[in-house]
Amino acid sequence: MANQTPTPGYSGTQTPTSNGGVHPTAARADVPIVVESERTKYTEEFITSTFDYHGQTVTNEGGVYKVRPTKKTFEFRTERKVPRTGLMMVGLGGNNGTTLTATILANRHNITWRTKSGIQTPNYIGSVLRASTLRLGVDPINGSDVHVPLSSVLPTVHPNDLVIGGWDISSAPLDKAMARAEVLPWDLQRQLAPLMAPIHPLPSIYYPDFIAANQEERADNLIPGEDKQAHLEKLRADIRQFKEANGLDKVIVFWTANTERFSEVLEGINDTAENLLEAIKCSHEEVSPSTLFAVASILEGCPFINGAPQNTFVPGCIKLAEQHKSFIGGDDLKSGQTKVKSVLTEFLVNAGIKPLSIASYNHLGNNDGRNLSAEKQFRSKEISKSSVVDDMVAANHLLFRPKAEGEAKGEHPNHLVVIKYMPAVGDSKRAIDEYYSEICMGGRSVINIFNECEDSLLASPLILDLSILAELLTRIEYREVGKEQTEFAPLYTVLSLLSYMLKAPLVKPGTDVVNALGRQRNALELFMKACLGLEGQGDLLLESRVW
């Protein structure tokens, strides 16, 4: 492998091909699940299910809540064949990109390495799909719950089989970029270096106004010129070439590059699909690199996931995706501190305890932290982190006054987010949270949490989950029974089912954002079960409560 000619944008795997790309190893099959029900049908091509979606509408009539149960019946059709899939990361040579690539290669080749505690084997711990389970039902013999890996519920791509490629403003081959990141232990890097060295990132886009000035020294691998239309066409050509060279059925594009400043949303510039495309032709200054990558992906029919907090999906970008029925998802990976915050705030509010203030302090020393030391880039992160408690607070009007007419939001805890760049700690991020709450009879409660995490080792499994779930959702179609719609149709453009892994979930315009982690996880599980024609099994556990 080490003697291969370097191939820009492609990951080395076991079997080189004649076209300069590489074939991954064959997929491993999870234990299959077969639903024996008249509501679930299997063919060689599809799993087709019938699912009753129960809900309630609530109106306040004369001071009385009138609740009316509703039911809609859907058919879901899931394509069973798992396609040959590529993952193109923007920021391939960064901490997340190199760590994820190294993780896949280590698992694919079963590379073990020595630590001070002994021999470590590769794994995908931290991946919801590969390292967590779903309660499928009850064993009729002993009455115990049966849990299955989330990845086995529906046919999904195995991480080992992803073909990796992408772009970076730094030209460093991935063995050098991996060493620069200082995330993985030396003995593992030593063994991975021959596999990582052939991987060279494709040239990327660099608009200095969108990222911190301290990133300029890394920017030696750029698509030339300032013509944004030409940049868009080059990105589209890169995607097509990557797909063709590796014999891929599908490509997922993932932004894991630097956090950008927010783009200004301007009428006539990026507010409609047509205006956005025209703004690209005119090389308008408010068209960001991440929006260009998103537009390229949309036009090529590839799902695009934004793993950073900036507003990549300006209104015109969402409308373009709707027009092309392309899939998009974002924003900002929810890996450590924010995930804990969404759990703890939900606990406090559901327990009838009123958070008065939430103060979050972070310091880290990787390149992400260096970029965030610039004010405009930090502001993007601050916005994505600050909104994570909004839906939980709004759900309890007994504790928090609802918003009045003309207000953006009602009563709300004071919420402070601070991020500081401290080079000495490297990728090991430190996070300190204080939750200051009101309890019974005017009392006060303080909860302090200190959280230390290796940032890229938490983020990399999330990139896998988001990419693999996005691919799965491209193979699921639906139709509503009893409606004029007779043909199966794809899901809506914005993949809100990815919310569990994202700080600031993008949702369908006009629908509510859900940040509560339990609700996000439950929605994902229930949807996967619905695609098998299974009702959501809650925790009522009637069998243990009746004679």
Average pLDDT in the 379-398 region? 78
Buried b (16+ CB within 10 A) or exposed e, 324-353: bebbbbbbbbbbbbbbbbbebbbebbeeeb
Q: Quick check: is 66 catalytic?
A: no
Residue 26 has a pLDDT of 36
Q: Degrees (nearest 5) of the Cα angle 208, 210, 213?
A: 50
DSSP 128-189: HHHH-EEEEEE-TTT--EEEEEGGGTS----GGGPEEEEEESS---HHHHHHHHT-S-HHHH
Active site residue 145: no
Range with the poorest average pLDDT among 3-7, 267-271, 361-365: 3-7
278-303 pLDDT tens trace = 999 999 999 999 999 999 999 999 99
47 burial via Cβ count (<10 Å: 0-12, 13-18, 19+): buried
Res. 156: pLDDT tops 60: yes
Q: Any idea which of 70-84, 153-167, 299-313, 396-410 has the lowest mean pLDDT? A: 396-410
pLDDT tier, 14 (very low <50, low <70, confident <90, very high otherwise): very low
Q: Is residue 390 pLDDT above 90, yes or no? A: no
The domain spans of the chain are 7-27+82-128+155-333+458-477+487-521, 337-455
Of the listed 175, 238, 331, 332, which one is catalytic? 332
Greatest CA separation for the chain: 78
Query: pLDDT class for 225, splitting at 50, 70, 90?
Result: very high
Query: Mean pLDDT for the chain?
Result: 89
Instruction: Mention the CATH class of domain 7-27+82-128+155-333+458-477+487-521.
Output: alpha beta
Checking if the pLDDT of 414 tops 80, the result is yes
Neighbouring CB atoms inside 10 A of 161's CB total 18
Q: What whole-number distance in Å separates Cα of residue 428 and Cα of residue 368?
A: 12
Please state the rounded mean pLDDT for residues 417-438: 90
What torsion do the CA atoms of 93, 98, 104, 108 make, to the nearest 10 degrees? Answer: 90
Tell me the whole-structure pTM to 2 decimals.
0.90
Q: Grade residue 336 by pLDDT with cuts at 50, 70 and 90.
A: confident
Quick one: average pLDDT of 26-32?
A: 55
8 A C-beta contact, residue 326 and residue 492: no
Percent of the chain with pLDDT over 70: 92
Whether 539 has a pLDDT exceeding 60, the answer reads yes
Q: Do domains 7-27+82-128+155-333+458-477+487-521 and 337-455 have the same CATH topology?
A: no
Question: Which of the residue ranges 190-194, 196-200, 402-406 would you say has the lowest mean pLDDT?
Answer: 402-406
Instruction: Work out the average pLDDT over 112-119.
Output: 95
Q: What integer pLDDT is reported at residue 160 of this predicted model?
A: 97
Question: 3-state DSSP helix/strand/coil percent for the chain, to nearest 5?
Answer: 35, 25, 40
Confidence of residue 371 (pLDDT cuts 50, 70, 90): confident
* Active-site choice (234, 319, 341, 429): 429
Q: Examine the pLDDT at 180 and tell me if it is beyond 50.
A: yes
- 332 an active-site residue? yes
Give residue-wise pLDDT tens across range 303-332. 999 999 999 999 999 999 999 999 999 888
Residue 192: pLDDT over 90: yes
Clarify whether 72 is annotated catalytic: no
pLDDT (mean) for 167-184: 96
User: Would you say residue 2 has pLDDT above 50?
Assistant: no
- Average pLDDT for 408-432: 88
Lowest mean pLDDT among 25-34, 210-219, 330-339, 363-372: 25-34
Instruction: For residues 505 and 332, give the distance between their C-alpha atoms in angstroms, rounded to a whole number.
Output: 8
Give the model's pLDDT for residue 386.
67
Predicted pLDDT at 9:
46
**Is it the case that residue 457 has pLDDT exceeding 90?**
yes
Give residue 383's pLDDT: 67
Residue among 354, 381, 385, 529 flagged as catalytic: 381
More confident residue, 387 or 180: 180
Per CATH, the number for 337-455 is 3.30.360.10
Q: What residues pair up with 134 in beta bridges, in sequence order?
A: 148
Residue in 243, 385, 503, 529 annotated catalytic: 503
Which percentage of the chain shows pLDDT scores above 90? 71
Give me the sign of the Cα torsion angle 532, 533, 537, 542: negative
Please check the confidence at residue 13 and state whether its pLDDT lies above 70. no
User: What is the pLDDT confidence band of residue 366, given thresholds at 50, 70 and 90?
Assistant: confident
Residue 61 β-bridge partners: 64
Residue 12 — pLDDT band, cuts 50, 70, 90?
very low
Residue 381, pLDDT above cutoff 70? no
